[in-house]
Amino acid sequence: MPNFISEHQIEQALVQRLQHRHGFDVLNCHTVNAKDLNDGSNRARKRDVILVDRVRDVALRLNPDIPPEAIENALEKLCEQRQAMSLIAANQEIYGLLCDGIPVTFDNAQGQSQQGRVRLLDFNVPSNNRYLVVTQLWIKGRRGFCRPDVLLYVNGIPLVLIALKNSTVALRNAYDDNLTNFKAEIPQLFLTNAFCVLSNAVETKVGSITAQWQHYFNWLRVDDEKQQIDRTAIRAQGTSLESVIEGLLPQQKLLDYVENFVLYDKDTQKIIAQNYQFIGVNRAYGVFFKRQELAGKLGVFWHTQGSDKDFSMIFYVRKIFRKQTGNFTFVVVTDRDDLDSQIYHNFLHTRTVSETEAAQPKNSKEMRKFLAQNKRIVFTLIQKFHWNKDREYPELSARNTIIVILAKVHCSQYQSLMANMCKGLPKANYLAFTDVPLLGRERKANAWFGSYVSEYNFQQSIDDGATVPLFYRKRVPAVLIQKEGLSERLRQNLENEGLDEAQQTGLEQRLTKAAKIIRRDERLEKIARDIVNHFPRRGYLGKGLCRYRSINSPP
């Protein structure tokens, strides 16, 4: 453990670094009397958290073509209390206003009614904004006054809450005592909040306003997802907050994160990108600019199981839609109906795409139709690219604004289907997502997609505390290696979708035979006996997962 580090020391170190390294102004609003309005914030009321005069100054500068009266109307809309709305609904509504501007109607110089949007943040030119660290701000709540440790403002709008504890106090207390109390007492502070930071120097976590404690996450890497983390040194020196300051709070990173790495799932949960997602998606986004020189090979995005790759895809797609001009269409390809449905609904539930903008083609003919209609996102199965091997696969679209995202990389299983897809979309760009390293035959994926664009492996996930260690022990090898060649035959069968009725019947019969081999009583009895005999006698070693492979494949 480090020597004792007080909240005040952590706060001062944080403020000084943001001020001297990252261009934040500093405002200490401490007053002895909590009711004293003379605290330097220029607020009209103590319950107010938005610094309206600062918002107005920036809004007038960022919107020179909009009359001051319309800007005042926009500020009134921003500052509405929204008491009839739930906290998450109000936060989502204001987030939309911050990202897209506040809609206003006004008369132009010719006296004609005109519509416009008042921008409050300049996401494209970070230096056009004003950044402010506010400390010791008394805020009137429902029953009394609260004083958050540190608030980060951009253009007079509080976007980040930072709650601090002494280094000897468990970080969980910052969540249970500070954050939970603030949400109950001063909910107005969270209407514009992008994310929260909790720190006692020894440990620092980041989370959204809807996240439970167990969903707050570490932020230990600044720019490189492969950066080696020395947790022992971080805890001993009390430097955990430094990674958040350098990796998330610099002006450009902060604005990028607020604009492109915040989601609302089913309008009930606010999801923000984790450290590895922020770095990985931005790396993939950077490669997107090189798509022509890379001949459309956008790379392989390898993040381990349980790393929320669906949301990584969504962050990636949303950022391209938002930041890039062009008539882009994304084709999201999977190999299972359930996975296709899962990804499709995640895109819908986060409002990344609407039902009218999305499509799920039944076959190549429908695929061609949807691509011609310039659908924003098309969801399909790799099996839909099956074609008679005696005929050349037809071109579906010659557009170079199509981005194919393969959600599962199994190119050794689907080589002919992949070849068909590339023939059908010859000028498309290809990005692959996988949760396992590409070894042996799987390296063929690199030929299709290029090299790794992002890597976040299982060991890194363990190091970050997001995954518990997993230990594998092979059991009953005699059972595992039965029926040589079965695995390869099943892979071949996967490519036979789309056959006529008689051929499909033959396929079903072959798969039925395979299933009988896998599920025969003798085999299941041997597995069950091994589990019953082994597990209770192994001693307490944590949780266990019994996974007996159903086909012949290496562990």
> At which residue do the structure tokens 């290809």 appear?
430
Residues β-bridged to residue 264: 270
Rounded to two decimals, what is the model's pTM?
0.84
Whether 201 contacts 241, CB under 8 Å: yes
pLDDT band at 461 (very low <50, low <70, confident <90, very high): confident
Question: Bridge-partner residues for 358, per DSSP?
Answer: 377
Backbone angles phi, psi at 277, to 5 degrees: -70, -40
The letter for the amino acid at 344 is Y
CA–CA separation, 478 and 461 (whole Å): 33
Q: 3-state class of 539 per DSSP?
A: coil
Cα torsion for 255, 257, 259, 264, to the nearest 10°? Answer: -150
Rounded to 5 degrees, φ, ψ at 134 are: -115, 130
Q: What is the pLDDT of residue 362?
A: 84
**Do residues 401 and 292 make contact, with C-beta atoms less than 8 angstroms apart?**
no
Mean pLDDT along residues 80-84:
90
158 close to 196: Cβ distance less than 8 angstroms: no
Cα–Cα distance for residue pair 204/240, rounded to 1 Å: 6
How many angstroms separate the CA atoms of 198 and 205, rounded?
A: 5
Q: How far apart are CA 353 and CA 117, in angstroms?
A: 22
How buried is residue 425: exposed, middle or buried, by Cβ count under 10 Å (0-12/13-18/19+)? buried
| Phi, psi for residue 219 in degrees, rounded to 5 | -135, 90
In this structure, how many other beta carbons lie within 10 angstroms of the beta carbon of residue 87? 17
From start to end of 24-110, where are the E strands? 25-28, 102-107
User: What is the 3-class SS of 207-227, one letter each residue?
Assistant: ECCCCCHHHCEECCCCCCCCC
Give the residue with greater pLDDT, 373 vs 58: 58
Rounded CA separation 317/509 (Å): 41
pLDDT of res. 473: 66
Q: Which residue bears the tokens 């007492």? A: 185
Burial annotation 285-301 (CB, 10 A radius, 16+ → b, else e): bebbeebeebebbbbbb
Can you give the pLDDT at residue 554? 36
Over residues 1-16, the mean pLDDT reads 88
> Looking at the predicted structure, is the pLDDT value of residue 328 above 80?
yes
The string over 102-125, giving b where at least 16 C-beta atoms fall within 10 Å of a residue's C-beta and e elsewhere, is bebebeeeeeeebebebbbbbbee
- Is a pLDDT exceeding 90 seen at residue 261? yes
Angle at 58 between CA 153 and CA 116, to 5 degrees: 115
pLDDT above 80: residue 490: no
Which pLDDT score, from 0 to 100, does residue 410 have?
Answer: 59
Band (pLDDT 50/70/90 cuts) for residue 482 is very low
pLDDT at 470: 61
Name residue 329's beta-bridge partners.
402
Cα-Cα end-to-end distance for the chain: 40
The average pLDDT across 295-307 equals 83
In contact, 429 and 403? CB cutoff 8 Å: yes
- pLDDT, tens digit, 9 for 90 and up, residues 350-407: 999 998 888 888 887 888 888 888 889 999 998 888 887 778 888 888 999 999 999 8
AA letter at 1: M
Give residue 314's identity as a one-letter amino acid code: I
**501: number of Cβ within 10 Å:** 7
Phi, psi of 332 (to 5 degrees): -95, 115
Beta-strand runs (E) in 62-214:
102-107, 113-118, 131-135, 139-140, 145-146, 150-154, 157-164, 195-199, 204-207
The gap from C-alpha 334 to its chain's centroid, in whole angstroms, comes to 19
User: What is the mean predicted confidence (pLDDT) over 65-93?
Assistant: 95
334: helix, strand or coil: strand
pLDDT (0 to 100) of residue 366: 86
**From residue 298, how far is each of 294, 443, 445 by CA, in Å?**
7, 15, 12
Q: Which residue has the higher pLDDT, 475 or 536?
A: 536
Dihedral sign computed on CA atoms, order 42, 44, 50, 53: negative
In angstroms, the CA 356 to CA 45 distance is 45
Which of the four pLDDT bands, split at 50, 70 and 90, describes residue 118? Answer: very high
pLDDT digits 0-9 by tens, 31-52: 999 999 999 999 999 999 999 9
| pLDDT given for residue 509 in this prediction | 59
Confidence of residue 469 (pLDDT cuts 50, 70, 90): low
At residue 505, the pLDDT reads 54
**Residue 177, CA distances (Å) to 146, 162, 164, 490 in order:** 12, 13, 11, 55
- Can you give the C-alpha Rg of the chain in angstroms? 27
